[in-house]
């Protein structure tokens, strides 16, 4: 795959999965 595809893959994964992880870490309320 071209390098540009790898960059897109990395940045999108970082935003989506990184975003989920950050949100889960910041969960404070039990409900």
Partner 1 sequence: MREIWHSRTAFILASIGSAIGLGNIWRFPYICYKYGGGAFLIPFLVALLTAGIPLMILEFSLGHRSARPAPITLGSLKKPFEMIGWFALLIGFGIVTYYAVVMGWCFNYLGYSINLSWGTNTQDFFFNQFLKISDSPLHIGGVQWMIILGLILTWVAIIASIWKGPNTVGKVVFFTVTIPWLLLLIFVIRGITLPGAVEGLKYYLTPQFKALFDYNVWLAAYTQVFFSLTIGFGVQITYASFLPKDADVVNNAFIICLADSATAFVGGFAVFSTLGYYAQQTGSPVSEVVKSGPHLAFVTYPTIISLLPFGARIFGILFFLMLLTLGIDSAFSLVEAGAASIIDKFKIKRIYSNIGFAVVALFIGIIYTTGSGLYWLDIVDYFMNYFGLMIVAFLMCIAVGYFSDYRGLREYANSKSDFTIGRWWDICIRFITPLVVGVLIATVIIDRVKSAYEGYPRIAEFMGGWLVVIAFAIVSYVLYRLKGRD
Chain residues that interact with partner 1, rule: CB under 8 A = 1-2, 4-5, 8-9, 12-13, 15-17, 19-20, 23-24, 26-31
Write out the two tokens for 14.
């970082």
Cα–Cα distance measured from residue 25 to residue 27, given in angstroms and rounded to the nearest whole number: 6
Write down the least CB distance from residue 14 to partner 1, Å.
Answer: 11
Write down the least CB distance from residue 7 to partner 1, Å.
Answer: 8
Write down the least CB distance from residue 6 to partner 1, Å.
Answer: 8
Write out the two tokens for 16.
């989506």
Cα–Cα distance measured from residue 12 to residue 16, given in angstroms and rounded to the nearest whole number: 6
């Amino acid at each position: 795959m071209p390098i540009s595809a790898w960059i897109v893959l990395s940045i999108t994964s970082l935003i989506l999965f990184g975003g989920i992880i950050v949100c889960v870490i910041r969960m404070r309320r039990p409900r």
